[in-house]
Structures are given as structure tokens and as C-alpha cells.
Amino acid sequence: MHSQTSTTQTGNQEQVQQEKDEMQQQTRILVNMLFARFKAVYTHKFASAYANPDEVKLAKREWAIAIKGFKEPLLAYAVERSKETYAWPPTIAEFLQLISKAYGAYGLTDPRKAYLEACRCRINPLEFSWSHPAVYHAAATTGWYSLKSDEEIRTWPVFEKNYNEVVDRIVQGEVLEVPNVPLIENRQEDHLAQLIPDLVQKTGLPEGDVACLLYYLKKTKGTQIRARYRAKSLSDLKQKGFDIILPD
């Protein structure tokens, strides 16, 4: 009999490898696009910089490592800036500086700074002062709990991928915003205002005790901390002799 766990792990490994292969193929396409643009812009100067096929092959390998993860619109922006800035084809370091300026042109920060910013958010993401909504949305997709508790070797690649996808949406014209905090808090308070009297009537417990039992509702829905607080409240109710199901 085959192990379900083994089958699942194999499936996940195949998916990861497929995504890796697709990213490598996309990077190769982008590098070829860059070299074609450089050749058209710098003509004989490009030919002088890359005199033979072996040099071109080695150069493309280094460029592929350098630009991995960057989307085409940002690379195209950097090419346009290189035409204005450099008389000769830019080095990798010079081109990466132009990409950083490209992020700034859209009011964004680069992926690494965005990741460090997301990791600094330790409490309520909706109340954090984000440099750009893109960082919030990339972090939310990555997972707040994962960013707080998992090692960087696991969270950084995931966040980088998510952030680049969000950046691509912004470059294409999409407008993103951080969800409005007051509206969410008002809905929570209205919900609590309805639940507390109902639970007081069912249990006969003081209103203060009931408010403590329902404190978990103030935590973000779907998070582990909310689930832990809810489980504790259910346990407390059971110890007091009440078999009551609390809302998720």
C-alpha cells in the first residue's frame, strides 16, 4: 500500500520543480530580451563589449542570476533609463541601481526592504504604517503567522514571489489599498454588543466574564491566536457546566 504522505510530498516536489523550471525559462526569455534591446540601443558598442559567443553565454548566465524575480515592466523601465544615463551598455550593478529607481517611480520599495518591513509588523497589520499597500498585500498573501514564526530561508522566497506579483499588478495600473481599520473594528464591536447580552442570558455569568470569554473575537479571523483564545473560552465554559458553541 502506498503512503498518502509520500504521494503528497512527491506531488509537492514536482510542483515546486515545475515552478522553478518555469521561472528559469521566464528569466532566460527576459535576459534575451535585455540583450536584444542593448544590442539595438548600443549597436557597435554592444558588439565590442561582447565580442564572442562564449562571452555572451557567460554574461547571460550572470545577468539571469541578477535579474531573477524581476518582472518585465520594471526591466523595460530600467532599459529606458539606461539609454538616458549610459553611453555604453550598463554593468549589472548599474542596471540594478536603475531597477531600484524604477520601484521608486511607482512609489514602491525594493523586494528586500519590503520583506524586512513586513517582518517588523509584530501586532496588528491593519494599524501598521506601511510604506506602500503593496507590502501589506504581499505579506498578507505570505501569511502573518509565517512571517513572525518561520525562518527567513522559508519566508523570504515566498514573500519575494508574492511581492513581485503585486508589483506587476501595480505597474499594470491596478490601485491597491490597505483595508480600512475603523470599519472592521465597528463591525466587531457591533457583533460583540449583540453576543454579550445573549451569552449573559444563557449562562447567568457577569457581563465582564462574558466579555472576557468573547475577547477572541477581537483577533483577526482565521489566525491561530484567535483559534487558541476561542478554544480556551470553550474550555472555560465547559468547566462551568455550559455546553455552548461559540462563533468562529
Inter-axis angle of helices 72-85 and 152-171, nearest 10: 70
| More confident position, 118 or 184 | 118
Residue ranges of E strands in the chain: none
**The pLDDT of residue 110:** 87
How much of the chain exceeds pLDDT 70, in percent?
A: 88
Task: Look over the chain and give the mean of its residue pLDDT values, rounded to a whole number.
Answer: 81
pLDDT for position 219: 73
Residue in 112, 118, 161, 156 with CA at minimum distance from that of residue 140: 118
Tens of pLDDT, residue by residue over 100-117, are 887 888 888 888 999 999
3-state secondary structure of 122: coil
pLDDT (tens digit, 9 = 90+) per residue, 209-226? Answer: 777 787 777 777 778 888
8-state DSSP, 123: S
Per-residue pLDDT, 172? 77
pLDDT reading at 183 higher than 50:
no
Whole-number Å distance between alpha carbons of 94 and 90? 6
What is the per-residue pLDDT across 7-23, written as a single tens digit (0 to 9) for each?
555 556 776 677 777 77
CA distance 46 to 38: 7
Contacts of 191 (CB under 8 A, 6+ apart): 217
Nearest to 56, CA basis, from 30, 33, 35 = 35
Give me the pLDDT at residue 246, please. 82
Residue appearing with cell numbers 457583533? 191
Which of residues 234 and 186 earns the better pLDDT score? 234
Between 68 and 122, name the one with better pLDDT.
68
Query: Looking at residue 12, what is its pLDDT?
Result: 62
